[in-house]
Structure 1
Amino acid sequence: MSGRRVPPGRAGRLRLRLRLDTALRGADVLERKLLFLLERERAMRQAEEDAARLWASRLHEAETWLLRGMLLSGEQALAQAPAAGRATAEITYTTTMGVRHPAGVTCAPAARSPDDLPPRNTALARAETVYRDVVRAAADYAAAHEALRLVAAEIRRTRQRVRALRHHWIPRLSEELAAAEQSLEQTEHEESVRRRWASAPTEPTGAATSHT
Structure 2
Amino acid sequence: MSSMGRAGKVRVERRLMTARHGARLLDRKQHILADELERLQLRAELARTEWEELAREAALWLRRAAALDGSARIEEAAPLEPAGLQLRWGSTMGVAYPEDPECQLPAAPAAGGSSALSYAAAVHRSALEAGVRYAADQRAEMLLTAELAATRTRQRAVENRWIPRLENELLNIRRQLDAQELEESLRLRWAADRNSGNTAGPALGAARKGAS
Query: How many Å separate the matches in 1 of 2:108 and 2:145?
Result: 39
Contact 2:79 2:106 in 1 (8 A): no
> For residue 70 of structure 1, what is the amino acid of its counterpart?
A
Q: Choose 75-84 or 104-113, whichever is displaced more.
A: 75-84
Which residue of the partner structure matches residue 3 of structure 1? none
Q: RMSD of the alignment, in Å?
A: 2.2
Runs of 5+ unmatched residues, structure 2 = none
Q: Please state if 1:94 is matched with 2:90.
A: yes
For each residue in 1:142-172, what CA deviation from the matched residue of structure 2 results, as whole angstroms up to 9, or x when unmatched?
1111111111111011011101101100000
Cα 1:82–1:129 shift into 2, 3 Å: closer
Deviation at residue 36 of structure 1 after TM alignment:
1.1
TM-score by length of 1: 0.87
1:81, CA displacement in angstroms?
Answer: 4.2
Cα contact 2:77–2:108 (8 A) shared by 1: no
The SS at the match of 1:125 is helix
Gapped regions of structure 1 (runs ≥ 5): 1-6
The answer to whether structure 1 residue 202 and structure 2 residue 197 are counterparts is yes
Aligned to 1:154: 147
Residue 109 of structure 1, CA deviation: 1.7
- Per mean C-alpha deviation after superposition, the further-off stretch among 170-179 and 104-113 is 104-113
- Distance in 2 between residues matched to 1:132 and 1:181, nearest whole Å: 72
**Sequence identity (%):** 34
Q: Distance in 1 between matches of 2:11 and 2:137?
A: 46
CA distance, structure 2, for counterparts of residue 18 and residue 26 of structure 1: 12
Given that 2:90 and 2:96 are in contact with CA atoms closer than 8 Å, whether structure 1 keeps it comes out as yes
- Higher gyration radius (CA): 2
**1:119 partner amino acid:** G
Cα distance change of structure 1 residues 44 and 160 upon mapping to structure 2, 3 Å threshold: same
Match of 1:4 in 2: none
Amino acid at match of 1:29: L
SS at match of 2:103: strand
Which residue of structure 1 aligns with residue 30 of structure 2?
34
For residues 7-57 of structure 1, the C-alpha deviation after alignment (integer angstroms, 9 at most, x for no partner) is 831111111111111101110111011011111111111111111111111
* CA distance in structure 2 between the aligned counterparts of 1:126 and 1:26, rounded to whole angstroms: 57
Change in 2 beyond 3 A, CA 1:13/1:106: same
Alignment size in residue pairs: 202
* 1:89-142 residue CA offsets vs partner (Å, 9 max, x unmatched): 1000121111111121111222224xx5x3321101100011111111111011
Change (3 A) 1:102 1:157: same
1:172 to 162, 165, 170: 165
Structure that is richer in helix per residue: 2
After TM superposition, the structure 1 stretch with the greater mean CA deviation from structure 2, 168-177 or 145-154, is 145-154
Tell me the amino acid that sits aligned with residue 145 of structure 2.
A
**What displacement does 1:83 show?**
5.6
